[in-house]
A = this chain, B = another copy of it.
Amino acid sequence: MSTAPSESRAESRPYHHGDLSRALVDAARKILETDGPAALSLRAVAREAGVSPAAPYHHFKDKAELLEAVAHEGWHELDEALAKARASADGDHGRMSDLGVAYVCFARDNPALYRVMYDRSRDKDALPDQMKEGGAYCQVRDTLAEHADNGVAEIDLELATIAAWCAGHGLAEMIGFKQFAALKTQLGGEEAFLRAVFEHLGMFAKFARD
């Protein structure tokens, strides 16, 4: 009576609610953006989606599985951000540092989402599955390969990709630290700071090689 169930809801609308899984993921992301990871309880997500606390259990085995879905979306969007950065690189054939900057900026702009993404990875002791297809990891490797066009050993490419990924992730987690504020302004902004750090990785690598 009072509730009109014939709301034109996208396409599938499989049952009562109309794609509740989708709504739950959206609600989770909204809470993440608004109130941060600490406020992301399963009950709060259900509340935000307008269902009872037990409803999510018909779509996700537990809280971890919902977060997994959120993280999956995050990785997908990171892939897109990197692809865009690679396509519109301001250099000749896609500067490596543009990828790094895009990666860190994604983490800076979506801190809570990025945290969920990595927390899930750590709990599984594994990189996300996407990386084995055409995901972010492969994009980094391919860009590295483009630069070193005159033949690089497979293993060197793999190790360099891992190295780049570690540097990017490390910087992504620390970009917001207060201690770097002075250095950022001194270098003329956050992006300049990022590029500078990436470029100074070589100094460490050189000394690590003795």
Contact = CB atoms under 8 A, between A and B. Distances in A.
Interface of A: 91, 95-97, 100, 115, 118, 121-122, 125-127, 131, 143-144, 147-148, 155-156, 158-160, 162-171, 173-174, 176-180, 183, 186-187, 195-210
17 contacts: A91-B210, A95-B207, A95-B208, A97-B207, A126-B178, A126-B179, A144-B204, A148-B203, A155-B183, A160-B203, A167-B204, A169-B169, A170-B170, A198-B204, A199-B209, A202-B205, A205-B205
Contacts of A177: 121, 125-127
Nearest to A196: B159
Nearest to A94: B207
Q: How many copies does the complex hold?
A: 2
A96 B180 CA distance: 23
B180 A208 contact: no
A204 B148 CA distance: 10
Contacts of A183: 155, 158-159, 162
B207 A159 contact: no
A167 B167 contact: yes
